[in-house]
Chain A
Amino acid sequence: MSRGVGIALLLAGAVVVLMTAPLIGPVSLPLAAIADPFGSDPSSRILWQVRVPRVVAAFLGGAGLAVGGAVFQAIFRNPLATPYILGVAAGASFGVAIVARIGIGVVILGLGLQSWSALAGALLAVAVVWVVTKLRPDAATSTLLLAGVSLNFFFSSLILFLQYTASFADAYRVLRWLMGGLGGVDASSVIQMAPFVLVGMLVIFGFGRELDLLATGSELASSRGVAVARTRTTLFIATSVMVGGVVAACGPVGFVGMMSPHICRLLLGSGHRLLLPMSAVFGGAFLVLCDVAARTIIAPAELPVGVITAFLGAPFFLWLLLRK
């Protein structure tokens, strides 16, 4: 398959998913609701105030996680390295769990404390990985991976501790949130998440060439003229801002970040100036699709979307890896 066909297929698929997803759900809506965004009848309110924001949130979230995955896979030169695996999502989750445990809801600069706390947790996790790269500049990427994975376990144990000492209701709420889900997402969560995701992506998309070179080795990148330390730091910060924003809104949704860039790489090659935006499109559409499944499979009840991503994604991914 040529690259042009791959791009066209991905874009067309994403458009179809985005157009149809808001129309699917436990309540079937008349098509007339589309024409009436500000209408007061139930179907146009369900469509425009519940489902459309939710689809937009899922798309932004999936896109952010996929781009974050692509960045980490390039920097660490390992297809398993994603913010999720390396503890960034766990750090953000820890931030959210603390706020949930303490139980205070404060709004700062228009964003809930939960968002800021998730962001702080993500930045903390990235800071630890960054310090490891600073202290051991010549460390093998496997060392960085191990450091990140231990960090993931560390934050996970802190979350377990918070849960164990919490009341039954609080513990369940945190557990439910950790599964990832878009059930509570509305227009305001989209507005909270969008700046993080869009700013992060804008910064990252400017580093396509640097990511190509980093993916072939940091020393080679350096000899070709990349300011490696500064580039890495910038990318780490941009990624944690983006992932922190997503996790605050959707919870730590796994698998999208690892799978999306990998599939796009198989279809389109490794050039990051194309790979990054296409991973965003794929990851976004994929999470929208998973969310549709999450809210229809046992309708009118909902499944956490994190349950679906790997359930749908893993078999497909395995098939893709074993093909030819």
Chain B
Amino acid sequence: MAVTGDRPRLETRDLRVRLGETDVLNGVDLEVGAGELLAVIGPNGAGKSTLLRSLDGLQLSHGGEVEVDGRPVSGYRRRELAQVISFVPQTDVAADGYTVRAFVEMGRYPHLAAWSALTAGDRRAVDEALELTETDHLAARFMTTLSGGERQRVWIAAALAQGGTILLLDEPTSFLDYRHQVQVLDLLNRLHCEVGYTVVAVTHDLNGLVADADTVLGLVDGRVEFSGPPEELFDAAILSRVFGNEFVLVAGGRHGLPLVMPARNGS
């Protein structure tokens, strides 16, 4: 498990977000320490993606604070923030007409001036990102020719090329088949445990990504319903409170945790 630094890298206090007439976040407090992996869970519409986007300053709040390395996120210029935080959205966008390398090079944007070419340092960052995500063999392929799992790893590579050490991911393993899910989970684990990235991931993957997390934040209706390590979360009563459904727990999950699955009528 990663060592948590003294000062949080990401912090929200009483964060409130309203979209139109709907209160999406109703006072969320969270802290993410350096090198920590935070999994954000909750039912659909609980405000998970909104929270993630608020952390990157992509969603304006109407109350409360978001701080990145102790400074309000609204005080950063976009370019400056992009050097600290990389965001991996749900990758349903195909990025037609770009090769994998060209797409990952776009991640270097916050380090480039207008009209300037990539420097040797930029190329090195791109190569490293491709290697780390094991996508270097795809570099010449067009984005549209990739499978879902390859595409997800390339999007992560582009985020790494950006050069920051905080990664935000929105459902990185959804819509992937099992082999690709495992590849992405292993990659995130490596980035978090070995390279030391601070990671916040929205996910529904309780037995995979959530089990690997240092801390789990359970959102329900824009409020924090649960905050704690996965071993506390994996409790039938807490899970049913977060998801509004009964859960079955059996032995045999990762890190000695139980496996959890939603109970169905008649099971």
Write the residues of chain A forming the contact surface with B, with a CB cutoff of 8 angstroms: 206-207, 209-210, 212-213, 215-217, 219-220, 222-228, 265, 269-271
Contacts and interface: CB of A to CB of B under 8 A. Distances in A.
A216 B82 contact: no
A224 B89 contact: no
Contacts of A225: 78-83, 109-110, 162
Contacts of B96: 270
Interface string B70-86: 00000001111111011
B114 A269 contact: no
A223 B109 contact: no
B107 A223 contact: no
A269 B106 contact: no
B106 A213 contact: yes
A219 to B, nearest CB: 6
Could you say which of A207, A212, A222, A224 has the most chain B C-beta atoms within 10 Å of its C-beta? A224
Contacts, number: 69
Contacts of B95: 215-216
B97 interface: yes
Contacts of B83: 225
A169 B83 CA distance: 62
B98 A212 contact: yes
Interface in B85-99: 85-87, 89, 93, 95-99
Contacts of A227: 77-79
Contacts of A209: 106, 109, 112, 114
Contacts of A270: 96-98
Query: Which are the 3 A-B pairs with shortest beta-carbon distances?
Result: A270-B97, A225-B82, A225-B110
Nearest to B155: A220
A262 to B, nearest CB: 10
A224 B103 CA distance: 12
A215 B80 CA distance: 21
B178 interface: no
